[in-house]
Every structure is written in C-alpha cells, then in structure tokens.
Amino acid sequence: MIVSRRWLEALLGRPLDAREVAEQLTMHVAAVDAVVPLHQDLGDVLIGRVLEVKKHPSADRLSVCLVEAGSGSVEVVCGAPNVQAGKTYPYAPVGATLPGGVKLERRKIRGVESNGMLCSAKELGLGEDHAGILELDTTAPPGSRFLDVVPVADHQIVIDVPANRPDLLCHKGVARELAAVLGGTTIKLPPIAGGAAPAGGDAALGGRRRAPRVPMGVVDGVEVRLEDPEGAPRYMIAVIRGVSVGPSPRWLTDRLASIGQRSINNVVDATNYILFEINQPLHAFDLAKLNGPAVVVRRAKPG
C-alpha cells in the first residue's frame, strides 16, 4: 500500500517527518518497505510573471519573454505558443537544476540571450504535457519558491500490509495508527460542503435498517436486484443527475498522483479518492448506458 505523507498530514492536521513515520509504523504497525521522495528536486524553480511577449527576430516559432522573478526582469526565449503577458508560470533561473540533473546556463538561442527557462509540466516531472508552459493560478509574488506555492513536494510511504490488517489499505487507517503512536492528535476528515444525506438511506439493499433483508428495491426509477445476499450482504446505490464529466480539479489530480494513480475524469477520480482515503470501494455507472431492466448483484455464472 502506498500512502502520501502530505495526505496523512491533512488528516492529522500536523506536519510529519517521513522517516519518523516509517520508523514508527515499522515498530508498531506494519513494515515499511520504502520511502520515496516526490518532486523534492524542484527547489530551484521560482514563480515568474511574464511582463511582455514579443516575436523572436530570427525565428518564427520562438518568442522573447520579459519575465519578472523577484530580482528584476530578464529575457527568456520560449518556444511554447501559450505564453501570455500578465500570466504566471514556473521559471527556472540560470544555475537552477531541473529533474534529471539538467543545470541551466545562460545561452544564446538564434542570436538572443536566454536567461533560464519557463517550464512545462513535463519538464518539472508533473505530467506528460510538454506542448505548453504550465500556467499557474496564484497571487504569490514573483520570485516565490515554486514548492512553497504549489504543494507538490511529498513522500510516498510503501507499507507491506499483512492479510489481517485491511484497515491499513487507506489513508484514514494509517493515520489512525499514527495518531495513537504519536499522540496529541486526532483524525479529521474533510467536511462535506452543505452537508449530505447518507447515500442510499432506506433504499439500501440488505442494510441493517431493514428487516428482513429485501432482495430488490427501486432507487429514483432504477431497479436493483440482490441475488447473492451472502456474498454481498449490503449494496447501496444513489442516482446523481446533472453531472458533467470533465477534468478533475488540480488538488484532486495531485492527491491521486502522489500515490501513483493516474487521473481519468472527475467522476472516476472521486470514486478512487474515496477508496484510497477511507477504504470504501465505489463504482460509477453512466445511467444512460446501463443495459437491462435492473442493476443485478450476483456471482458469475458458468460460461
């Protein structure tokens, strides 16, 4: 099981030292196989604000950007088409070392001196997009450290979870153990905006609120049949309408990326987020594409 140090910090409301966490978990809970640093190599990257963009005098596909980064402004040659004046981007100054060990030097590009570079997500190791420079939505002043503004520096803590500890297969379970070991703290799950009714409610199939168990029910016009109450003693559904499928917000994609999960879309990512935070498996169906008269919960049949 891979857990994120920052994710644990959010649940416990306190900073954690990754090495101490690994030691305490190994001593008291379960063996930690590895502690893997994430994005610690971005310490030289700064916040840069582009003041001016003009065409390169000797290259049609290049531009010359005037970048403010805290100690005056410098000219940077850039090949990305999305850079705009007034916007903020990651800026690696001369002397900075980027992921992979590349150290930037002042050099001329087609006759114009470039002082560092504006960075794409791929160049920072934060994604595969290298077609454009990574635009930042921040009010931080130019020259601020990128890692202080964009909290991506993290550690992956790899836990060897034994078969009798399924509670450790989520961040809440690991955080609960750390709260007990470290003392002085409790787990606090993020609040749900506006409050929410329990999913399923009285429509839950096989729930404890209903006696005896019922093999079928209807939720917002969707019939559900439970054909194996022994294998699935509780099955809950909810129908959510008016959902637009699209990209997830940055905080969610960062959370999933911190444990090696790829972002799919906002609906799938939400179900994965719940799984890795509180160990509750979820699955989302597109109601318009469901076949048959009902959702049927059963074991596989021969053939």
> What is the rounded distance in angstroms from the CA atom of residue 75 to the CA atom of residue 119?
14
Domains of the chain: 2-39+153-182 (3.30.56.10), 42-149 (2.40.50.140), 201-297 (3.50.40.10)
Tens of pLDDT along 206-227? 444 444 566 888 988 899 999 9
Q: What is the mean pLDDT of residues 42-46?
A: 95
Is pLDDT of 99 > 80? yes
Tens of pLDDT along 58-77? 998 999 999 999 888 999 99
Tens of pLDDT along 225-236? 999 988 888 888
> What is the rounded distance in angstroms from the CA atom of residue 70 to the CA atom of residue 46?
9
Of 141, 159, 184, 185, nearest to 27 by C-alpha is 159
Dmax (CA) of the chain: 82
Is pLDDT of 12 > 60? yes
- Return mean pLDDT, the chain: 90
Q: Name the more confident of 292 and 268.
A: 268
CB atoms within 10 A of CB 75: 16
Q: What pLDDT is attached to residue 212?
A: 52
> What is the rounded distance in angstroms from the CA atom of residue 66 to the CA atom of residue 83?
11
Q: What pLDDT is attached to residue 217?
A: 87
Is pLDDT of 86 > 70? yes
Three state DSSP letters for the chain: CEEEHHHHHHHHCCCCCHHHHHHHHHHHCCCEEEEEEECHHHCCCEEEEEEEEEECCCCCCCEEEEEECCCCEEEEEECCCCCCCCCEEEEECCCCEECCCEECCCEEECCEEECCEECECCCCCCCCCCCCECCECCCCCCCCEHHHHCCCCEEEEEECCCCCCHHHCCHHHHHHHHHHHHCCCCCCCCCCCCCCCCCCHHHCECCCCCCCCCCEEEECCEEEEECCCCCCCCECCCCCCCCCCCCCCHHHHHHHHCCCCCCCCHHHHHHHHHHHHHCCCCCCCCHHHCCCCCEEECCCCCC
Q: What pLDDT is attached to residue 194?
A: 62
